[in-house]
Chain A
Amino acid sequence: MHRDNRTAQSERSWTTRRDAKAARVAKLEGIAHGRVIPTESIVQALEALIAPGDRVVLEGNNQKQASFLSKALAQVDPSKVNHLHMIMSSISRPEHLDIFEQGIATKIDFSYAGPQSLRIAQMLEDGKLTMGEIHTYLELYGRLFIDLIPSVALVAADKADRSGNLYTGANTEETPTLVEAAAFRDGIVIAQVNELVEELPRVDIPGSWIDFVVVADKPYQLEALFTRDPRHITEIQVLMAMMTIRGIYERHGVQSLNHGIGYNTAAIELLLPTYGESLGLKGKICKHWALNPHPTLIPAIESGWVESVHCFGGEVGMERYVAARPDVFFTGRDGSLRSNRALCQVAGQYAVDLFIGSTLQMDRDGNSSTVTSGRLAGFGGAPNMGHDPRGRRHSTPAWLNMITSDNPLERGRKLVVQMVETFQTGNCPVFVEELDAVQVGRTAHLAAAPVMIYGEDVTHVVTEEGIAYLYKASSMEERRQAIAAIAGVTPIGIQHDPRATERLRREGIIALPEDLGVRRTDAKRSLLAAKSVEELVEWSGGLYQPPLKFRSW
């Protein structure tokens, strides 16, 4: 019996993946020169390297897009390449979905589809694509190593040398993660590069992980998504930022954090050197950050507030500034930023005290969602950071400050803060009876409603009315009362009971601006350390070079 098993084993090949890869790579003989595929041969090369039914990771995240490779993939002959199972963190470009209409791809697993959220919802409804799952970034990266191991990875880099070494520089993002998943399980890795050079500034991804490089016809698409023009920050947002600094950052001693990309969190960044300074908080709060190089963080950095920033990705225009501040940012020997989305997501999940974000809708229980009806936008990374990671074991003062009982086994909590105005523009209440996500989940036949941040994870809600300290609420009913108390004249807010509100206020479960020592009349735009992009440039000593669309001069 024992012997028979061994015989069966010896007959089995253990190198089927490696052999299959070698056979495919051999087909490029006569097309590629060494590792370099000529620009004009890319479609032919993809037809040779990709087989029907392959799992293909196509790099598209919210900033950097492998746009040359995605266009090429949309041009392959569907009779040769079809039924692909696409894995993408962000569905951003029209051709990302064109390939499904052309029959090249059939199934999708993704994380975020904001720029294509209507079309993907329509295609799902019309049966033009098969949905795998919608993930957070970390879940998707994780599955690349478990049950979504890619057969092919199509990625983007700034530069390559002839050995396939890649320089991804400031926009390293998730490229190393995608490449690793394919390269070490005999997948095929193809990188588009802006240029082929003799010597790289530094090696971000070693050539032994890369099978082919191709020089793109034009540089990969890169969007400046994290630039907020301070001109658009309103005085309501200044008020909410003041409340947050006093009522949350100062009160709990928040030292490490992740900010969303809203104007309200930009307001916080711009109030640190002015309002924060006047409260004597420098060195006590907001020292370590997990976030992209936001231009609105420049005044805080220049004023000495910021000790370190680790980045998911880069930001267009911030390259020279970042390179000149290596004490603050992670930079390579060449001087430029090294970002890494997977590691920064892990940092934002496990290593920071606080996540603060915004949302389009919140229900009475504090569940929130940015999904609007008829659209399937997905999650991105916010849920990774916007929850309490229950596997956390190290302590920080802010984390411990969330403990509300004297149980000897009690542990701390991540601070998860939602910061919203009670109404969006266009008379749309943020606080609603039911999230649109519920209906969207039903329509799209999702296994679970696409909730961005679950109420049970939210510790604080900040509105222009006040702050609800949800972590202090002793029951579900009290949580609901606290949310209703600061929900203004929305359908949820008008249901609040004034007597309950007074009690919550006395018990410190909600706080109005005056309870925090914040005067509404002080909330002026003049408090912002920079009131325009020009002033950000000034703060940076001319190192920040905003893209044209943010220049008014």
Chain B
Amino acid sequence: MSVVFTFPGQGSQEPHMLRSMPRHPVIAGTLQEASDLLGEDLLLRDTEDALRSTVAVQVALLVSGVAAARALQAEGARADWAAGHSVGAFGAAVIAGSLDFPAALTLVKLRGELMENAFRQGYGMGVVLGIPQQKLENIVARTFSREEPVYLANYNAPDQIVVAGSVQGIERVLATARQEGARKAERLQVSVPSHCRLLEPVAAKLADALKQVPFRKPAIPYASNRTGRTLLDPEAIREDLALGVSHPVRWHEAASLLVERGARLFIEMPPGRVLTNLAKTAFPSIRSVSAADSGLKTCCILANRFKAND
């Protein structure tokens, strides 16, 4: 048990992320499959302009993650665990074998639409570096108001935490964090306050849609964002995909758990390297590579080597 495939979330998108994917028949096939299912050419939907849409970003991240993971599998690389950050969790559920790709596409598209339509303006997210979790929780508790709510949303690393909520609430947290020694505290370029209670209506609608979709027992454990646990129960995965959108992403906890459970190689699906960098910092003794930087071939060789040493 040693290889993790990780699937990045929003923020990792890049212009031309789909058309610049490695040439591989499985990747080409997956892109075609997704385009056919959605009834639109996805290769035309990854321009800088098109990726201003949350829907387009989430769909593109799902497709690139699943396409690359399938190509790695076709080349003989096997994952022992699947872990996705935020929307990346859908790709993880597909590759774990719990959810079909066509269903995931429909669900992610719906998720993006629900999120895009839930908030018009005045909301967003912000990132704080260099303030430990407990201290940031105190800051958020101190500055919270019902009118201008703000919540902790992503626990990416012990000292890298994202907050979500109203813009005023976020700005207050960021200002206090700066005063109390944050290395960096700034707004993110997103308009949806993901992973907090404000998204509960979105989670409810997503849950309804998820109920219509069959889930299977996964072939490999799936790492849950919401609980920081690994899951093998299909119903628990279904629930995690729905509630994930309105609960904090406990990424660091989930990744730490995988390391304790024996993970020794993290391979991040394209296009990003965010999760790779988090893993490199948090687990210096664990090997972490991104398919975007290292290429499919290197990822395959490493996956097999780590497997052989199991």
Contacts and interface: CB of A to CB of B under 8 A. Distances in A.
Interface of A: 94, 115-119, 122, 126, 373-374, 426-428, 436
Given A373-B134, A426-B132, A94 B261 contact: yes
Interface string B88-129: 000000000000000000000000000000000000000000
B128 to A, nearest CB: 11
B181 interface: yes
Contacts of B253: 118, 374
A373 B133 contact: yes
Nearest to B131: A427
Contacts of B133: 373
Interface string B253-276: 100110011100000000000000
B229 interface: yes
Contacts of B159: 426-428
Given A373-B134, A427-B131, A436-B134, A118 B229 contact: no
B1 interface: yes
Contact of B262 (A94, A117, A427): A94
Give the secondary structure class of B's interface. loop
B22 interface: no
Given A373-B134, A374-B253, A436-B134, A427 B260 contact: no
Contacts of B131: 427
Contacts of B228: 122
Interface in B158-193: 158-159, 181, 183
18 contacts: A94-B261, A94-B262, A116-B260, A117-B260, A118-B256, A119-B260, A119-B261, A122-B228, A126-B229, A374-B253, A426-B158, A426-B159, A427-B130, A427-B131, A427-B132, A427-B181, A428-B132, A436-B134
Contacts of A118: 253, 256-257, 260
Contacts of B181: 427
Given A373-B133, A427-B130, A122 B257 contact: yes
Contacts of A374: 253
B244 to A, nearest CB: 18
9 tightest CB-CB pairs across the interface, nearest first? A94-B262, A426-B159, A119-B260, A427-B130, A94-B261, A118-B256, A116-B260, A428-B132, A427-B181
Contacts of A115: 260
Contacts of A94: 1, 260-262
A116 B183 CA distance: 30
A165 to B, nearest CB: 33
B250 to A, nearest CB: 9
B137 to A, nearest CB: 10
Nearest to A373: B134
Contacts of A428: 132, 159
A119 B253 CA distance: 9
A110 B1 CA distance: 25
Contacts of B261: 94, 119
Contacts of A122: 228-229, 257
Nearest to A93: B262
B53 to A, nearest CB: 36
- Most chain A CB inside 10 Å of its own CB: which residue of B130, B228, B260: B260
Contacts of B257: 118-119, 122
Given A373-B134, A427-B181, A436-B134, 6 more contacts: A94-B260, A94-B262, A116-B260, A119-B257, A119-B260, A122-B228
Contacts of B256: 118
Contacts of B183: 427
Contacts of B1: 94
Contacts of A436: 134
A373 to B, nearest CB: 7
A101 to B, nearest CB: 10
B258 to A, nearest CB: 10
Counting chain B CB atoms within 10 Å of each CB, which of A115, A117, A118 scores highest? A118
Contacts of A126: 229
Contacts of B134: 373, 436
A94 B2 CA distance: 11
B252 to A, nearest CB: 10
A427 B132 CA distance: 8
Nearest to B159: A426
Interface string B1-28: 1000000000000000000000000000
A116 B131 CA distance: 25
A258 B62 CA distance: 54
A358 B285 CA distance: 22
Contacts of B130: 426-427
A373 B256 CA distance: 13
Interface string B215-258: 00000000000001100000000000000000000000100110
A115 B1 CA distance: 16
B222 to A, nearest CB: 15
Nearest to B157: A426
B121 to A, nearest CB: 34
A104 B211 CA distance: 34
A117 B131 CA distance: 23
A428 B131 CA distance: 8
A513 to B, nearest CB: 26
A427 B184 CA distance: 12
Contacts of B132: 426-428
Contacts of A426: 130, 132, 158-159
Contacts of B260: 94, 115-119
Contacts of A119: 257, 260-261
A550 to B, nearest CB: 13
A122 B261 CA distance: 12
A374 B256 CA distance: 11
Nearest to B262: A94
A179 to B, nearest CB: 28
A126 to B, nearest CB: 7
A227 to B, nearest CB: 14
A427 B261 CA distance: 29
Contacts of B262: 94
A118 B261 CA distance: 10
A94 B132 CA distance: 28
B132 to A, nearest CB: 5
A231 to B, nearest CB: 14
Residue of A117, A122, A126 contacting most chain B CB atoms (<10 Å): A122
Nearest to A114: B260
A397 to B, nearest CB: 43
A116 B257 CA distance: 8
A287 to B, nearest CB: 36
